[in-house]
Copies of this chain bind each other. A is one copy, B any other.
């Protein structure tokens, strides 16, 4: 084991985001996966749970109780919402923690309670947590020990909107985010609604006006708009495994053109390795980011004067979850942000 290796533990490794971390970290030159936990599957090799990983040399699954936290530099937490906060609270301090659940994303305890239906169990940690939208909270992430990795829908919505709100190029009212997601966002638990037969060859909207990512989007956008935000967010389920596409309808600020939006976004992300703005009027497709940590953004004029349409795409399991988590680990540890994240998209 190299002396420069980063000793990593993954809590909740039997879900899709856990397996995706294992896939991506296989390309990270310094990552050493030292521990994998899964309560019900403890004792099994990961390859029994995820056959695609059977040939790799990986630690056997253990329970969180059996974890040697002191021997780890970084912990990725892929546990279910609501149970995560108590577990992180109970862990000895030391390792940096990248939490992929929603538990530490909302800063306002009242908003958390309203959204999740119960009081937060670790408010003192929530105060220390930093929101992990890498490109826009980088300085804070650098100093953090607990990073609240953003949701997949929220990343898709926030990346195109933040620079425009920050520069006051769009109106803060009337933003509509019509979002479409692949099924892997629903996780690996057996649910009737996620069966192949129930999903293939069809689409539907769900969680309309009530989806829990909405307050997260609003909190983040408010940080940059400098005022409270209220958006329309409509998620739809797509018959595909991976990928999110956000079609975002915005109203231009006075005197601003769609070209101005494009210029602003292209400038804001010019030096970012993972966020790319397409030529004006070009629009991205989810299949062109599959398996990669990329977010692609397009800007298009509307037929309605004074309005514009933004389209952003990413792979919900990579930039929308495990990829951004590794990006955040790299930031926290002062490494090159791109390490482990150079996979080119898989197409077709």
> A residues touching B (Cβ–Cβ < 8 Å)?
16, 19, 22-23, 26-27, 50-56, 174, 176, 178, 180, 182-184, 188-192, 194-206, 208-209, 214, 230-234, 236, 238-243, 245, 247, 249, 276, 278, 283-291, 294, 300-304, 307, 309, 311, 313, 317, 342-348
In addition to A198-B287, A204-B313, 17 A-B residue pairs with Cβ atoms within 8 Å of each other are: A16-B348, A23-B344, A50-B347, A52-B344, A54-B276, A189-B192, A194-B196, A196-B239, A201-B201, A204-B283, A205-B245, A209-B300, A230-B304, A232-B304, A234-B247, A239-B239, A241-B348
Q: Which residue of B lies closest to A245 (CB)?
A: B203
Once bound together, how far apart are the Cα atoms of A86 and B174, in whole Å?
46
Once bound together, how far apart are the Cα atoms of A309 and B198, in whole Å?
24
- Please tell me which one of the listed residues B204, B278, B343 contacts residue A285 in the complex, with CB atoms under 8 A apart: B204
Q: Are A344 and B56 in contact (CB under 8 A)?
A: yes
CB neighbours (8 Å) of A249 from chain B are: 176, 178, 232, 249
Q: Are B240 and A203 in contact (CB under 8 A)?
A: yes
CB neighbours (8 Å) of A287 from chain B are: 52, 198, 201-204
15 contacts between A and B (CB under 8 A): A22-B344, A27-B344, A51-B285, A51-B288, A184-B348, A188-B195, A194-B195, A201-B243, A204-B283, A204-B284, A208-B309, A208-B311, A232-B249, A236-B247, A249-B249
Once bound together, how far apart are the Cα atoms of A161 and B97, in whole Å?
48
